[in-house]
Amino acid sequence: MPLRLSRRSGNILQSEIRAMTGECRRLGGINMAQGVCDLPIPETVLAGARAAMDGGINSYTASEGLPRLRDAIAGKMGRDYGMSVAREEVLVSLGATGAFNTTAQALLDEGDEVLLLEPCYGYHAATLQAIGCAIRTVRLEPPAWALRREVLEQAVGQRTRAIVISNPSNPSGKVFSREELELLADFCEAHDLLLFSDEIYEHFVYDGLRHIPPATLPRLRGRTVTLGGFSKIFSITGWRLGYAIAPAEVIAAAAQFNDLIYVCAPAPLQMGAAEGLLALEDKFYRQVAAEHQAKRDRFCGVLQQVGLEPIVPQGAYYVLADISALPGKDDRQKALALLQRSGVASVPGRAFYHDDGGARLVRFCFAKREAELEEACTRLLQAFQ
């Protein structure tokens, strides 16, 4: 007799990204489905981790993280955004994913409602569902993905406790303007909401725009959990290092969950990230942004040429494109058709919506090494000539 799984297990969404990655591997294609940044790891980050291992920093750390890394994260918020953060307001966790899970566990109860902006990052929805929260969606419309108060007001209910944003956003690339953040502050105050702001792509911002952490707005500071991480900027997705910044009492409660679920983030790797934060200068971050802007322009140009109209992103490193002209009855079949025809894998739009909102879309990740990106461009151009 098969074992009965918990009701909770049924809540976890099956990952479209993993499915496409498997199919891509089978067909020997180029995987633009997965959001892995293929740049080399900065030498200071590697050297910092190696030195920590050699120096004996290999045991459990405090569940909140090593003081050196917590201080480096607080220092970075001051340096980059003029935001004063104390060590006690920082939790180091297993990626931004762990930081969201543990702070959400600390702040939300089963049955609480949470607003998500669609298109949205699937892990946000899945994490909330695993906790037992109910999700209410707010649909943003391309190409501007503008935040509108009326749409937020339509979605909010009596039991709504929080709203989650991704800024810059995966998958849309939306970068929230100051006006939109002020609007969000009005809305959060009016309904006494928490704000979870996932800023893992903070350094991937293009066209001279600037990333503004919502917590730098005084009205949002006390009700915001800022989530960040090193997976993308240091190309260390497998190191599992991220953080949350929130009022000290929230961090103390989240640290209990961090302890329970993960014990602590890997000790020597925390030191590597700390050294990276302390040593790398503005030039490094500017160069990463410039390189990705060039890749965005190259790839979006090709998408346009082959008739897969891109919604050009302002940040992060994904692009949503219109695949309605491709054969197939839905986005999944169309994404497969695209993979079979060109050898380039993408994610069907459904991965980012609770309904059929993504039926005309696929998402590509353009954070690829130069040669691989060029190969993807060539394959697309050949397939559609």
Span 141-170, contacts to ligand PLP by CB under 6 A? 166, 170
194-198 and 160-166 strand pairing: parallel
Of the pair 166, 270, the CB lying nearest ligand PLP is at 166
Span 2-21, contacts to ligand PLP by CB under 6 A? none
Does 243 sit near ligand PLP (CB under 6 A)?
Answer: no
Looking at the DSSP bridge assignments, the partners of residue 30 are: 344
Q: How many residues in the chain?
A: 385
Site string for ligand PLP, 97-116 (x = CB under 6 A): x-------------------
Options 72-80, 94-102, 108-116, 300-308: segment touching ligand PLP (CB under 6 A): 94-102
Which of 122, 242, 276, 358: binder of ligand PLP (CB under 6 A)? Answer: 242
Which tokens sit at 306?
Answer: 């082959």
Give the gyration radius of the chain's Cα atoms. Answer: 21
CA distance linking residue 309 with residue 321, whole number of Å: 5
Which of 29, 35, 48, 119: binder of ligand PLP (CB under 6 A)? Answer: 35
Does 293 sit near ligand PLP (CB under 6 A)?
Answer: no
Which of 44, 237, 333, 378: binder of ligand PLP (CB under 6 A)? Answer: 237
194-198 and 361-365 strand pairing: unpaired
Options 89-97, 173-181, 281-289, 351-359: segment touching ligand PLP (CB under 6 A): 89-97
Does 96 sit near ligand PLP (CB under 6 A)?
Answer: yes
Total chain residues near ligand PLP (CB under 6 A): 13
Rounded to 5 degrees, φ, ψ at 173 are: 80, 5
User: What distance, in Å, lies between the first and last C-alpha atoms of the chain?
Assistant: 54
Closest distance of CB 334 from ligand PLP, Å: 22
Does 121 sit near ligand PLP (CB under 6 A)?
Answer: yes
CA distances in angstroms from 13 to 9, 330, 354, listed in the order given: 9, 19, 10
- Burial pattern 370-379, b for ≥16 Cβ within 10 A else e, equals eeebeebbeb
Name the closest residue to ligand PLP (Cβ).
95
CA distances in angstroms from 223 to 116, 162, 195, listed in the order given: 17, 9, 6
| CA atoms in the 13 A half-sphere facing the CB of 181 | 22
Does 231 sit near ligand PLP (CB under 6 A)?
Answer: yes
Binding site for ligand PLP (CB under 6 A): 35, 95-97, 121, 166, 170, 198, 200, 229, 231, 237, 242
